[in-house]
Amino acid sequence: MPDLNNWPTARLLSTAARLVEHAWDEQLASLGLTHAGRIALEVLDAGGPMVQAAVAAGVRVQAQTMGKTLSRLQAHGHITRVPNQADRRSHRVAVSDLGRAVLVRARELELTLAPGGDADAVELRDKLAAVIRRLGSDRWG
């Protein structure tokens, strides 16, 4: 194991983020979800039925990238797609009942990923949120 005390903060943060994401992905796989699929379900749950491009914008990815994620979600029964009455070239996407149940379980799993959980990590959460706001504003506007 490397001497983590000598690592710059950015490397610690990046490595920790990757490890948490890998652990999260392993847990989500047991539900038939991916990290991207879980985020897409959150966007749909919060915003209600919407077209693929709107889901992609909410997740902050390209519509083409979102198409693959939505196809996986649909194959597992987590979403439904119906033709968009306003524009027949697109479909409206919505969370299914199964998708809502899986999302509840995914939220529960997320709370157990890091030692101590969210309740014990207030200072860390505040600092991470500050990093995201600072670096994310340039990327996401």
pLDDT tens sequence across 55-107? 999 999 988 889 999 999 999 999 999 988 888 788 899 999 999 999 999 99
Q: How far, in Å, CA of 37 to CA of 72, rounded?
A: 8
The answer to whether residue 118 scores a pLDDT higher than 80 is no
pTM of the full predicted structure? 0.73
pLDDT at 37: 93
Q: How far, in Å, CA of 14 to CA of 133, rounded?
A: 16
Cα torsion angle, 30, 32, 37, 43, sign: negative
Cβ-contact 93, 44 below 8 angstroms: yes
Q: For the structural domain made of 20-110, what CATH number should be given?
A: 1.10.10.10
pLDDT tens sequence across 1-36? 788 999 998 998 899 889 888 888 899 999 999 988
Domain ranges of the chain: 20-110
What is the spatial order of strands in the sheet that 79-83 belongs to?
Answer: 50-51, 91-95, 79-83
